[in-house]
Amino acid sequence: MSSHGLSASEIARKVRAREFSVTEIVIDSLERIGSLDGTLNAMITIERDRALERAAKLDSALASGEGPGPMTGVPVIVKDNMCTRGIPTTCASRILSDWKPPYNAAVVEDLEKAGAVILGKSNMDEFAMGSSTEHSAYGPCRNPWDTTRVPGGSSGGSAAAVAAGYVPIALGSDTGGSIRQPASLCGIYGLKPTYGLISRYGLIAFASSLDQIGPFARTVEDLALSLNVLARPDRKDSTCSSSERPDYLDFLKVGSLSGKKVGIVREFRDYDLHEDISRGVEKVLRILQNAGAVIEEVSLPVTMTSGLGAYYIIAPAEASSNLARYDGVRYGLSEEAEDLLSLYLKTRKAGFGTEVKRRILTGTYVLSSGYYDAYYLTAQKVRQIITREFTEAFSRVHTLIMPTSPSPAFRIGELVDDPIHMYMMDVFTLPVNLAGLPGLSVNGGYTSEGLPVGVQMVGPRWGEGEILSMAGVLERELGPARIAPGGLADEN
Amino acid sequence: MKTEFFPVIGLEIHVQLNTLSKLFCPCSTAYIGTVPNTNICPVCLGLPGTLPVLNGKVVEYSVITALALNCRINRATRFHRKNYFYPDLPKAYQISQYDLPVGEDGYIYIRGEGGDMKRIGIIRLHLEEDAGKLVHSAADGRLAGASASYVDYNRAGVPLAEIVSAPDLSSPSEAKEYVSLLRQLVRYLGVSDGDMEKGSMRVDANISVKCSDGRWGDRSEIKNMNSLRALERALSFEIKRQTAILEEGGTVLQETRHWNDSEGRTISSRSKEEAHDYRYFPEPDLPPLFLPEGFVEEMEQTLPEMPWVRKSRFIRDYSLSETDVAVITESPDLADLFERCVREGASSERSANWIRTEVLRVVNERKTSVGDLPLSSHVLAQLLSMIDSGKLSNTAAKEVFDCIIETGAGVEEALKVCNLQSGGISGSQLVEIIRDILEKNSSVVETIRSGEDGNGKKSKFLQGLVMRETRGQADPEEVRMLLQELIES
Ligand SMILES: [Zn+2]
């Protein structure tokens, strides 16, 4: 019997009941990766030996009667921008291709403490900049529903890994949609928590005020389990909330949504949405309504007209500063050079890809003296207005429903030379980062070509519980996320 | 009418705060003398993924210093990133304060050029992190001709308070006075050791020259002045240089100039065209800092007596000279030692005198600080009281003092070690010694007896011999009387 396709919660239960050993689970996962990843390229590093060694340790601990953790035996994959001690952490960039961190990210510590087994590091857009996982020094990742298409990005590797059944849970990071958009394109759940819910310590920064780590999973229960493990105060991250977190599994006990108000955003009508995506949104609204929720229209005028512009000023500005440390002096790529300036120029020229360079240039420009007020300061003001618009909306409704992405998975290479069109992929997700709110992408069905369609659920600050409750109600109707064939013809 | 020239000087002083740990990580601030790149961690090395965590103690130190400088404290403050590339800057940005410094609009009084008290404005005091240090492998330690450069990050992240003065200083000596006062102040506050030579206090100067005919030259920024003397010399040189340019009708360029101490001149190092655009923006990894209700008041309570207050109190309460007081109030340790000695019964005059001479002598000889001497105020007061009461001569007391410093012994023990007795040598014991000396110097005795010692030199000579023999334990007056008696008999 194979453990393939089990959820994390099921694995943890079966390991606890000794139906499976951790080693069996890990071998099943590694086999799945081995058979698919040649095609999908979802992984940058696979830590086979390390994972088996750890599985054996966990097995002997269980045998000696040690109490299991909430994730004992669960194989997980971590996006390659989260530091893992002694394991390469590349950000899919040449500039960090040889870098092994001397320390673990807070989330890595938490996963291991909970008993999870990290199998490796997933592919991504370089430094998390992109919406397709094509901008990777390790080659593009492919969508497990259609391998000629992108899995979305920037956490495309983690999304593809969960969708293709490598593992039940993978971690991504979301700065403007980098968890929700690939979750949508891969037909699974992807949750970006409230800014400050999960420690960013050890997450290699793209845009510090927007970055947030979150889980991909195929069941709502696994999302809640992940938050229980990852969401905690952390003194090493001053932007991480010091408040106690609830037990997120408690929110899944809700059966009825009576008394709940769900908002739909009026301005979405102005967008040229893919027909199947509109249909997905309608379907989700109908289910919520049937469960007792009341639908109300809300308006986010500034958010929908100016969010994208503000985001593409603030995110590159912070990135230009965050990525300045890769100078060839201390770690990572260092090109031979005659003097200091040419060391900087040669290293950064060889080390960064086109998209990263584009954003560093943009960011440097908008922070330059003489332009700061017109760009950065204005963008910050817009950000405040957006936050206010959301606050106003959430004074009237409990959650908002909107599309995750304007289109389903596009073809590899289709948008790679059209950055503005590519940036538009995040138009519905990035305002949520600007306002620091939680957002979840759930599957809302499939297109006629069989491509998943995502629907986004947004909550107020610290409203993860509210979102999980509603997602739980949806899941009861729609079932858990399906496992994708991953390029294997005999499945599905 | 002859044109007159007036120097206009403002100083930017970086003070290293001596908290236990660095500004944003748990590494120690005691980096001096450590093996390169051992006093580091992922955070101060700026490794990818690391985040700064503000050291609360640094905030306290900076608020205390700003309060002592009469600054208005910003209860709501925040940090910015100052972006520039340099190998000693691990993140390629320095976390600093920009629009909301800890303190603003302060002032301090110095003794001005004319002798009157002069108010010097403090524009701001802000916090920032220190950088690492470049080490060049050329023989002379300089960049020119170096074949390789190394970076030591042990200093990276050490907290700095940057104190920016208004351009209120009008001479090199006023600048020196101001820096000395600041140094004294940070030592009183216990927030820094204020050592310019060790780099824990670094002074940059902005200096321009204004002409009586209305012309005003651009300012130059002078760096690399590593002592008070260097500061004075560099400013004097710069005033001469700028004045000469203006006298000839030329224009002074706005530029950064480095003081070369061995050549005794400033050298242009960076022109305005290359000026950095630091692209400041609010540090997103640190939330804005709100000082809690009552925090500033609480810090105010912890302020010690200011050095200038202490100085005038010493002059008033102990009737000491201004010069004496200036020396003993220079460091809080000395001033504390003085006051404790007096409290334990030693006379203020003798305490001041001894601290100025003996205590400072051993401090300088041993290149140490008062606090590190094996000398308690109790022991010193006991010793000085013995001189006051005539139980021990000043000379003998010095010998005992040296013994105490050498061995860390108490007074009684040191007296024994030095083979001295308290209470002195007198009476028959003293007569014995004098007789002995007179015998050995019979020719001198003869001279005196024959009345040829008109100016009393010979008698003084004998008196000296007796004092030496008794190692100062005899009462000089008794010695004089006995000598007279015995010579005449
Ligand atoms: Zn450190």
Q: Which residues, in sequence order, are bridge partners of residue B149?
A: B136
- pLDDT > 70? residue A5: yes
Q: Which helix (H) or strand (E) covers residue A161, if one does?
A: helix A156-163
Beta-bridge partner residues of B204? B12
How far, CA to CA in Å, does B488 sit from each of A294, B432, B438, B459, B481? 126, 16, 12, 12, 11
Q: Does A207 touch chain B (CB under 8 A)?
A: yes
Q: pLDDT of A17-51, one tens digit each?
A: 999 999 999 999 999 999 999 999 999 999 999 99
Q: Cα B90 to chain center, whole Å? A: 31
pLDDT value for B155: 97
Statement: residue A178 has pLDDT above 90? yes
Q: Is residue A154 reached through a cis peptide bond, with omega within 30 degrees of 0 on the bond before it?
A: yes
Q: Which CATH class is domain A8-301+384-478?
A: alpha beta
- Residue from the list A238, A239, A369 with its beta carbon closest to the beta carbon of B277: A369
| Average pLDDT, integer, range A410-429 | 90
Q: What is the mean pLDDT of residues A167-172?
A: 98
A105, A204, A324 member nearest B93 (Cβ): A324
Task: Decide if B88 contacts B134 (C-beta within 8 A).
Answer: yes
ipTM of the complex: 0.96
Would you tell me how many other CB atoms lie within 10 Å of the CB of residue A1? 7
Is the pLDDT reported for residue B84 higher than 50?
A: yes
Does B271 score more than 60 pLDDT?
no
- Per-residue pLDDT at A270: 80
Q: How many Cα atoms sit within 13 Å of B7 on the Cβ side? A: 27
Instruction: Answer left, alpha or beta for residue B8, where phi above 0 means left and psi between -120 and 50 means alpha.
Output: beta
Q: What are phi and psi of B99, to 5 degrees?
A: -90, -20
- Which residue is listed with tokens 């899941």? A475
For the cut 80, the answer to whether the pLDDT of residue B138 exceeds it is: no
| Known catalytic membership, residue A381 | no
Confidence at B389, pLDDT banded by 50, 70, 90? confident
| CA neighbor of A428 nearest in space, from A302, A268, A274 | A268
Q: Which of residues 12-31 of A touch B (CB under 8 A)?
A: none
Task: Label the pairing between strands A189-192 and A439-446.
Answer: antiparallel
User: B465: part of which helix (H) or strand (E)?
Assistant: helix B457-469
Q: How far apart are CA A110 and CA B176, in angstroms?
A: 55
pLDDT in tens, A43-83: 999 999 999 999 999 999 999 999 899 999 999 999 999 99
Q: B406 falls in which pLDDT band (50, 70, 90)?
A: confident
What structural domains does chain B harbor?
5-298 (no CATH), 305-417 (no CATH), 427-488 (1.10.10.410)
pLDDT in tens, B35-58: 999 999 999 999 999 999 999 999
Q: Which two tokens stand for residue A46?
A: 């696979």
Chain B residues with CB under 8 Å of A331 CB are: 47
For chain B, the residues whose C-beta falls within 8 A of a C-beta of chain A are 42, 45-54, 81, 83, 85, 87, 90-93, 151, 277, 279-281, 284-287
Q: A178 catalytic, yes or no?
A: yes
At residue A263, the pLDDT reads: 97
pLDDT of residue A137: 98
User: What are the boundaries of each domain within chain A?
Assistant: 8-301+384-478
d(CA B282, CA A186) in angstroms, rounded, equals 36
A320 catalytically annotated: no
pTM above 0.95, yes or no: no
In the predicted model, what is the mean pLDDT of residues A301-320? 96
The DSSP secondary structure of A328-396, one letter per residue, reads: SSSSS-----SSHHHHHHHHHHHHS-HHHHHHHHHHHHHHSTTTTIIIIIHHHHHHHHHHHHHHHHHTT
Q: Report the separation in Å between the CA atom of B87 and the middle of ligand 1, taken as the mean of its atom positions.
A: 17
Higher pLDDT, B463 or B32: B32
A479/A219 Cα distance (integer angstroms):
9
CA distance A283 to A403: 12
Query: Which residues make Cβ contacts (< 8 Å) with residue A490, sequence separation at least 6?
Result: none
Mean pLDDT of B233-247: 95
How high is the pLDDT of residue B270? 63
Whether B361 has a pLDDT exceeding 60, the answer reads: yes
Q: How confident is the model at residue A335 (pLDDT cuts 50, 70, 90)?
A: very high
Chain B interface test: which of A311, A369, A381 (most B C-beta within 10 Å):
A369
Among A149, A182, A181, smallest CA distance to A163 is for A182
Q: What proportion of chain B, given as a percentage, has pLDDT over 70?
A: 95
What does A242-290 look like in DSSP terms, one character per residue?
Answer: -SPP--GGGGGG----TT-EEEEEGGGGGS---HHHHHHHHHHHHHHHH
Counting one residue from A and one from B, how many pairs have CB atoms under 8 Å apart? 95
Tell me how far apart the alpha carbons of residues B449 and B96 are, in angstroms, rounded to a whole number. 83
Annotated active-site residue in A3, A21, A29, A79 = A79
The pLDDT of residue A491 is 46
- Percent above pLDDT 70 for chain A: 99
CA proximity to B188, closest of B295, B64, B300, B71: B64
- So what's the pLDDT on residue A16? 95
User: What's the Cα-to-Cα distance from A227 to each of A245, A421, B137, rounded to whole Å?
Assistant: 9, 33, 52
Please pick, among A7, A178, A184, A334, the residue that the annotation labels catalytic: A178
Distance of alpha carbon A193 from alpha carbon A215, whole angstroms: 9
Cα angle at B433 between B427 and B439, to 5 degrees?
130
Instruction: Note whether A456 and A441 are within 8 A (CB).
Output: yes
Decide if B242 contacts B252 (C-beta within 8 A).
yes
Give mean pLDDT, residues A208-228: 98
Average pLDDT over residues B408-419: 78
Is some CB atom of chain B closer than 8 A to the CB atom of A387?
no
Which of A318, A344, A367 is nearest residue B85 as measured by Cβ atoms? Answer: A344
Looking up tokens 């601990």, which residue turns up? A61
pLDDT value at residue B341? 93
- State whether B49 and A101 contact (CB < 8 Å): yes
CA of B154 to the centre of ligand 1 (A): 8
**pLDDT (0 to 100) of residue A49:** 98
Signed CA dihedral, A416, A421, A425, A430: sign only: positive
Is the separation of the CB atoms in B46 and A325 below 8 Å?
yes
